[in-house]
């Protein structure tokens, strides 16, 4: 999936694909009113599309019907404003995977995302991965698919050669990369460059975000987008602009320096941070994450003030929700 869906590889517009949070009521049920506000805010912040039902969405803490309900709701709210992708594999058995992929696809998503760690166990080879991938292709008709190198229950990276072979099938449109290695990212981009006009690699690691975008990635799909979505959007738009080198360097340095705090107590910290920004989404969680201390909340307030200064420096406005 590219930022504009059907652009060729040579003309792809860089895009930010948020890994969406899921909103909950005080009673712990999915809060669909807040999810509407959240979806609209991502899009207003410049998101080129949306990744619903992912790890940031607490997908492993949702039951199957909630995964379907959340995805369908996001598709409905985003309709006409940007494509939506969503995870569709939650077991290691091909028949069960194919059945749920079809259900997720029926919600109207642009592509159904396969968790790379659900295509082969930790000790199994790339050949097993590839064989299982092809079984899913046979079992799911012409449904567009994608990969997500999800770190839970274990992280399975998809190497450049293997990714290229999968893209050659014409069915793979999206890859969320979590290797955190610019050399591997460049190899994956090289291996897939000429194989799929619809395919896009979106990097999750902001430590080399500028280099990734300049190397030819379709965009970014990072947890930092759940704190500073407008800034990630801005970076996607300007990373290759020679007149913005100084500003781009400032943004890249900001993401590098805030790497630890962005990951600390995530995604609860993101919900607190967006609440501090005025987003009316609540901080209720399904995943077990301890509550931040008063000092940690103070640190988030300080970070808000620091990021606001950077936004002002770059001429970026903060979206409200």
Question: So what's the pLDDT on residue 254?
Answer: 97
pLDDT at residue 245 above 80? yes
Question: pLDDT tens across 16-29, in order?
Answer: 999 999 999 999 99
Q: Predicted confidence band at 128 (pLDDT cuts at 50, 70, 90)?
A: very high
Question: pLDDT tens across 177-229, in order?
Answer: 999 999 999 999 999 998 667 899 999 999 999 999 999 999 999 999 999 99
Dist CA 147 CA 201 (whole Å): 9
Which residues are CB-contacts of 63 (< 8 A; sequence separation ≥ 6)?
none
Question: pLDDT tens across 155-164, in order?
Answer: 999 999 999 9
Question: So what's the pLDDT on residue 200?
Answer: 96
Question: Distances from the Cα of 124 to the Cαs of 98, 115, 118, 119, in angstroms?
Answer: 21, 15, 11, 9
Dist CA 266 CA 19 (whole Å): 12
Dist CA 44 CA 93 (whole Å): 39
Start-to-end CA span in the chain (Å): 27
pLDDT at residue 50 above 70? yes
| Both tokens assigned to 211 | 């280099």
**200: β partners:** 174
Which among 215, 167, 174 is positioned nearest to 194, based on CA atoms? 167
Dist CA 37 CA 274 (whole Å): 12
Dist CA 101 CA 38 (whole Å): 25
Mean pLDDT taken over the chain: 94
- Lowest average pLDDT, out of 76-80, 111-115, 128-132, 195-199, goes to 195-199
Q: What is the mean pLDDT of residues 276-287?
A: 93
Q: What is the mean pLDDT of residues 263-276?
A: 95
The pTM of this model reads 0.94
Q: Predicted confidence band at 321 (pLDDT cuts at 50, 70, 90)?
A: confident
Cα-based torsion angle of the residue sequence 137, 138, 140, 141 in order, rounded to the nearest 10 degrees: 100
The full set of domain ranges for the chain reads 9-314
Q: What is the mean pLDDT of residues 290-318?
A: 94
pLDDT at residue 244 above 70? yes
Asked if 251 and 220 count as a contact pair (C-beta separation under 8 A), the reply is no
Asked if 121 and 155 count as a contact pair (C-beta separation under 8 A), the reply is no
Dist CA 29 CA 19 (whole Å): 20
Question: So what's the pLDDT on residue 90?
Answer: 97
Question: So what's the pLDDT on residue 13?
Answer: 76
| Both tokens assigned to 252 | 């890249």
Question: So what's the pLDDT on residue 12?
Answer: 52
Dist CA 54 CA 227 (whole Å): 17
Q: Predicted confidence band at 3 (pLDDT cuts at 50, 70, 90)?
A: low
Question: Distances from the Cα of 57 to the Cαs of 267, 268, 305, 309, in angstroms?
Answer: 9, 11, 26, 29
Residue 230, classified by CB atoms within 10 Å of its CB into exposed (0-12), middle (13-18) or buried (19+), is buried
Domain 9-314 architecture = Alpha-Beta Barrel (3.20)
| Both tokens assigned to 293 | 């201390």
């Amino acid at each position: 999936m590219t930022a504009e869906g059907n652009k060729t590889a040579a003309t792809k517009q860089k895009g930010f694909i948020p890994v969406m949070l899921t909103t909950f009521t005080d009673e712990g049920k999915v809060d669909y009113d807040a999810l509407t506000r959240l979806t609209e805010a991502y899009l207003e912040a410049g998101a080129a599309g949306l990744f619903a039902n992912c790890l940031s969405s607490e997908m492993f803490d949702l039951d199957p019907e909630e995964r379907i309900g959340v995805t369908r709701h996001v598709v409905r709210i985003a309709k006409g404003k940007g494509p939506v992708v969503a995870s569709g594999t939650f077991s290691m058995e091909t028949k069960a995977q194919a059945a749920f992929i079809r259900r997720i696809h029926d919600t109207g998503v642009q592509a159904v995302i396969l968790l790379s760690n659900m295509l082969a166990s930790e000790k199994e080879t790339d050949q097993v991965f590839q064989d299982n991938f092809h079984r899913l292709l046979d079992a799911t008709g012409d449904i567009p698919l994608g990969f997500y190198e999800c770190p839970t229950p274990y992280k399975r990276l998809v190497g450049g050669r293997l990714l290229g072979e999968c893209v050659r099938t014409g069915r793979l449109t999206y890859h969320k990369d979590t290797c955190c290695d610019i050399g591997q990212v460049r190899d994956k981009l090289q291996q897939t460059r000429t194989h799929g006009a619809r395919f896009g690699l979106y990097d999750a690691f902001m430590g080399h975000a500028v280099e990734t975008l300049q190397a030819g990635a379709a965009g970014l799909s990072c947890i930092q987008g759940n704190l500073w979505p407008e800034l990630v959007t801005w970076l996607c738009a300007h990373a290759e602009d020679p007149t913005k080198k100084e500003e781009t360097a400032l943004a890249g340095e900001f993401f590098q320096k805030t790497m630890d705090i962005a990951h600390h107590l995530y995604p609860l910290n993101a919900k607190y941070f967006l609440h501090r920004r005025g987003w009316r989404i609540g901080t209720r969680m399904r995943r077990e994450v301890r509550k931040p201390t008063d000092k940690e909340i103070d640190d988030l307030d300080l970070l808000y003030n620091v990021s606001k200064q950077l936004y002002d420096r770059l001429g970026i406005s903060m979206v409200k929700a």
